[in-house]
Structure 1
Amino acid sequence: MKIAIGADHAGYRLKDTIVPFLQAQGHEIIDVGCNCADSVDYPDYAVPVCDKVVSGEAERGILICGTGIGMSIAANKTPGIRCALVHDLFSAKATREHNDTNVLAMGERVIGPGVAEEIVRVWLETPFSQGLRHQGRIDKVKALESQYSLHP
């Protein structure tokens, strides 16, 4: 699977752990940065990841900042993105099964690398349930996106 990944200054160390973990599983990575502790703005990294997912250049995206909150807010402003902030395995599985999320956000200051790797593994391996009730809810989210988007 081709995965776009990005982080700000508060998440780049966890990104640098996740990238080789994903590569070892055979995934192709598009790393949009950042790669240092110099203060940067999380939207500058969320946007390119989300653009790659929406365009089809990447199948999924992963975003990491200090808490994951800023990245998830920025990501969910992009039409076509369903980003979930996840810090536990149950949520990683549920957000794929029920919400068909295409972007995962995590917080380096909230979870350690071992938990993060397991979250990523579960999130990538879990398929969307294809349940009618779940698809209906996703369709309602898409309708909201069209209603409020400047570019429907």
Structure 2
Amino acid sequence: MMKIALGNDHRGVPVKQRVIALLKELGHEVLDLGTNSPASVDYPDYAVAVAEAVARGEADRGILICGTGHGMCIAANKVAGIRATNCRDVIDAELSRRHNNANVLCLSADLVGEEMSEKMIRVWLTTEFEGGRHARRTEKISAYERCHMKTEGHC
């Protein structure tokens, strides 16, 4: 099984508890990087923490939760080596893995129901990357990162 880094803002706290239960039920290890409080926080802090854990190999994949999933996705994708995806249905989740080798799943706490979120997580965790022409495409993204992004150190 995998080690999954999990992060959320204040709007994702209730959803996170269900996600943790599902991941443990599926046999995965959870690295909970917060928040656990309903007090307002800044989503980039948690998105970057999860993305860096995945990029450094401390977790196999990451899951982020905020109101829409958009902010977390934007912030996580600033970390070199991260291919974060914001999914709304099972097809999104499947194709993000098969075609894009997404390593961080961003979920909406407000716009996607509990049942759909669970289905997406199950599919996203079990779908393999197809490689082939898709590997060529993701390698172009990685090559750009190597040339243009700072890959170590913190501000």
Aligned counterparts of 2:151 and 2:57: Cα–Cα separation in 1: 18
5 Å matches for 1:12-23? 12-23=13-24
Aligned counterparts of 1:32 and 1:12: Cα–Cα separation in 2: 12
Matched, 1:62 2:63: yes
Match of 1:27 in 2: 28
How far 1:147 moved relative to its partner? 2.8
Residues 48, 116 of structure 1: CA spacing in aligned structure 2 closer, same or farther, 3 A cutoff? Answer: same
Aligned counterparts of 1:74 and 1:99: Cα–Cα separation in 2: 18
TM-score of the pair, normalised by structure 1: 0.96
Question: Do the aligned residues in 1 keep the contact of 2:6 with 2:62 (CA within 8 Å)?
Answer: yes
Count the aligned residue pairs.
151
5 Å matches for 1:1-150? 1-130=2-131, 132-150=132-150
- Structure 1 unmatched runs, 5+: none
Residue by residue, what CA displacement relative to the aligned partner does 1:112-141 show, whole Å, maximum 9, x if unpaired? 1111011000000000012x2101110111
Residue by residue, what CA displacement relative to the aligned partner does 1:26-69 show, whole Å, maximum 9, x if unpaired? 10000011112110000111111111111111100000000000
Aligned counterparts of 2:68 and 2:29: Cα–Cα separation in 1: 25
Aligned counterparts of 2:101 and 2:75: Cα–Cα separation in 1: 18
How far 1:11 moved relative to its partner? 1.1
Runs of 4+ deviating beyond 4 Å: none
Identity of aligned residues (%): 47
Aligned counterparts of 1:151 and 1:19: Cα–Cα separation in 2: 30
Question: Do the aligned residues in 1 keep the contact of 2:80 with 2:150 (CA within 8 Å)?
Answer: no
Residue by residue, what CA displacement relative to the aligned partner does 1:92-112 show, whole Å, maximum 9, x if unpaired? 000100000100001101111
Amino acid at match of 1:129: E
- Give the aligned CA root-mean-square deviation in angstroms: 1.1
Choose 139-148 or 59-68, whichever is displaced more: 139-148
Amino acid at match of 2:69: G
